[in-house]
Amino acid sequence: MKAITVPTVILQGDDDQVVPLDDSGRLSVKLVKNGRLKIYPGYPHGMLTIHADVIDLDLLSFIRA
């Protein structure tokens, strides 16, 4: 991940019981040079499916920026 230099967004819910936030999102953003972490309060591991309406808008916003 240290080799990634392009703008990168890391998305994670703070209620992810499969991959804990501290072991994944917070660690990943430290390794990516131009990374940004977006934390979703109360969102679980399956947030991309369950909350696609919110996630899709955030991804689109990131791509446009």
Residue 21 lies in a domain: yes
Confidence of residue 10 (pLDDT cuts 50, 70, 90): very high
Confidence of residue 3 (pLDDT cuts 50, 70, 90): very high
Confidence of residue 40 (pLDDT cuts 50, 70, 90): very high
Predicted TM-score (pTM) of the model is 0.89
Residue 47 lies in a domain: yes
Residue 34 lies in a domain: yes
As a whole number of angstroms, the distance between CA 45 and CA 17 comes to: 7
The kind and range of the H/E element at 3 are none
Residue 51 lies in a domain: yes
Residue 23 lies in a domain: yes
Q: For residue 60, give its domain range.
A: 8-64
Q: How many domains does the chain have?
A: 1
Residue 2 lies in a domain: no
End-to-end CA, the chain: 22
